[in-house]
């Protein structure tokens, strides 16, 4: 190879690496890690909760909102032509939904800012007051402008927020004035709530634009959806800076659900099948890239795991033992900072050639011990008993056993810190992946059941989405949406 060709390849390689680094800077799942508190809580939950109970909860939770929809929509509504006098069932439905939504949002707020210590009494009072004031405000507007009132939810949001803010001021005003950090969290929750609401509005508007453009332009127009999703994911993570434990749930339950809902609604149109297939393929490619990142994280500590004599699947259990046996490592404030600074050199696809160099360099710097340790007690690395119904004292123990503590002495303190740090990153990325895939499968399934409930309940005529749709057409729509969910599995 000539010098000119070598120079050209170097320039091309530099350009490719720059593009990959730019892409990785947008991968929010690479920019965070579990806290030690969440890490330990996960193991406590795993030790105290059976698989059957976890599966029951996982299956039951999605059906709760569907049950609420079925109960609410089973109440028949009168025609709007009857005026305000005939709108009793509408108000009954509105108050019921308003109470549930108000309580849910208030409870989420109390969990997000636990420093406020909002009691159940205040929570219930705020829920009832905000719901009542917002509906009274709408009733007043109806008296002025007439019935039905368009954009009802928009008109209700102002009085609801005002009532909630007043309740917070009266009950926790002194605490907020004396604790600027708590006030900062309150403002951040407000911003996140607005972003959460606006994402649904944006996707709904975009869906209308998507349907209005010519068929040959739909595929190109749909490419804006992944771009919007990536932008919104990064905005959420920017506002959640310093709260890595909340990022996977808040990002996935907001951004990924709206993305899955858009694909589900586009699957209702036979002409949009190719567009939906393209979006599914994009999600699949992003999944493969994230799995590659996970593989690189595991490979980055291969020398340490080989030194300990453990398999990659035992990294998490070993890290838990390190956090239990060496609590001084968990109190090291540089643990997360070090992890953040090392991402560009260790956990990036663009630096594959640097990974080997980094590992070799660590091998030279780290203390080389010739201590002979007993073989790793692999059974002790399993936190839960593997045999149902058999719970010996050793199996029920969630801390490190004697043989495992001896094997930990094979590695230096710095290596223990690196292994613990990597485990926290692996769990953060894994939670992102699992929640993302769960929502991409669960959302279309729930949406199809939601449509079935609305279609066969007595209020079908009041939903424009069903205009001109007979039973055969509706069943085809549901099959398309279910097919999307199956393709995501």
Q: Please report the DSSP string for 433-472 in residue order.
A: HHHHHHHHHHHHHHHHHHHHHHHHSTTGGG-GGGTT--HH
CA distance 255 to 277: 19
Here the tokens at position 251 are 């990002």
CA distance 319 to 423: 6
Q: Answer yes or no: are the C-beta atoms of 75 and 92 closer than 8 Å.
A: yes
Model pLDDT for residues 343-381, shown as the tens digit of each residue? 344 434 444 444 444 444 444 444 444 333 333 434 344
Q: Answer yes or no: are the C-beta atoms of 289 and 349 closer than 8 Å.
A: yes
Predicted structure pTM score? 0.77
Q: State phi, psi for 399 to the nearest 5 degrees.
A: -100, 180
- For the purposes of burial, counting CB atoms within 10 Å of the CB of 272, is it exposed (0-12), middle (13-18) or buried (19 or more)? buried
Q: Answer yes or no: are the C-beta atoms of 210 and 218 closer than 8 Å.
A: yes
User: In this structure, what DSSP letter does residue 300 have?
Assistant: T
**Where in the chain are the domains?**
19-50+191-297+425-487
Q: Please report the DSSP string for 281-295 in residue order.
A: HHHHHHHHHHHHHHH
Model pLDDT for residues 39-70, shown as the tens digit of each residue? 989 888 888 888 899 888 888 888 888 998 99
Residues 6+ apart with CB under 8 A from 377: 401, 403, 404, 407
CA distance 100 to 128: 10
Measured over all CA atoms, what is the biggest interatomic distance in the chain, rounded to whole angstroms?
A: 88
Of 340, 432, 435, 430, the C-alpha closest to 28 is 432
Here the tokens at position 174 are 């002194």
Instruction: For the chain, list residues with pLDDT below 50.
Output: 333, 336-400, 402
Which residue is it, tokens 């780290």? 366
């Amino acid at each position: 190879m000539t010098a000119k060709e070598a120079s050209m390849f170097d320039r091309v390689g530099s350009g490719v690496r720059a593009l990959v680094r730019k892409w990785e800077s947008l991968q929010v799942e690479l920019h965070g890690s579990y806290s030690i508190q969440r890490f330990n809580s996960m193991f406590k939950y795993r030790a105290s909760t059976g698989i059957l109970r976890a599966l029951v909860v996982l299956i039951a939770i999605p059906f709760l909102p569907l049950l609420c929809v079925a109960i609410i929509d089973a109440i028949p509504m009168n025609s709007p032509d009857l005026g305000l006098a005939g709108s009793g069932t509408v108000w009954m439905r509105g108050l019921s939904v308003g109470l549930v939504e108000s309580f849910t949002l208030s409870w989420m707020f109390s969990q997000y800012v636990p420093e406020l210590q909002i009691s159940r009494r205040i929570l219930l009072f705020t829920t009832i007051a905000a719901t009542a004031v917002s509906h009274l405000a709408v009733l007043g507007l109806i008296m002025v402008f007439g019935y039905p009132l368009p954009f009802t939810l928009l008109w209700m949001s102002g009085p609801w927020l005002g009532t909630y803010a007043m309740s917070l001021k009266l009950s926790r005003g002194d605490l907020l004035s004396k604790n600027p950090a708590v006030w900062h969290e309150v403002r951040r929750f407000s911003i996140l709530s607005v972003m959460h609401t606006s994402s649904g509005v944006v996707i709904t508007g975009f869906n209308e634009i998507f349907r209005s453009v010519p068929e040959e332009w739909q595929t190109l127009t749909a490419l804006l959806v992944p771009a919007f999703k990536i932008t919104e994911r990064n905005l959420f993570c920017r506002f959640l800076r310093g709260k890595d434990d909340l990022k996977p749930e808040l990002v996935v339950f907001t951004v990924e659900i709206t993305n899955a809902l858009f694909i589900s609604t586009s699957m209702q149109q036979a002409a949009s099948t190719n567009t939906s297939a393209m979006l599914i393929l994009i999600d699949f490619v992003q999944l493969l890239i994230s799995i590659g990142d996970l593989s690189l994280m595991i490979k980055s500590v291969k020398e340490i795991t080989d030194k300990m004599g453990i398999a990659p699947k035992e990294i998490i259990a070993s890290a838990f033992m390190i956090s239990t046996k060496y609590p001084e490592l968990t109190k090291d404030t540089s643990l997360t900072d070090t992890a953040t600074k090392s991402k560009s050199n260790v956990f990036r696809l663009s630096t594959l050639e640097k990974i080997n160099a980094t590992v070799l360099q660590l091998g030279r710097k780290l203390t080389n011990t010739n201590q002979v340790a007993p073989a790793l007690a692999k059974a002790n690395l399993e936190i839960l008993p593997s045999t149902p119904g058999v719970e010996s004292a050793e199996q029920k123990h969630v801390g490190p056993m004697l043989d495992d503590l001896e094997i930990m002495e094979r590695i230096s303190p710095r290596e223990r810190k690196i292994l613990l740090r990597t485990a926290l990153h692996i769990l953060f990325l894994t939670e992102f992946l699992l929640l993302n895939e769960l929502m991409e499968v669960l959302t279309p399934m729930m949406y199809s059941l939601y449509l079935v409930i609305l279609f066969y309940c007595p209020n079908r005529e009041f939903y424009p989405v069903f205009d001109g749709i007979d039973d055969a057409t509706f069943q085809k729509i549901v099959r398309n949406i279910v097919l999307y969910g199956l393709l995501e599995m």
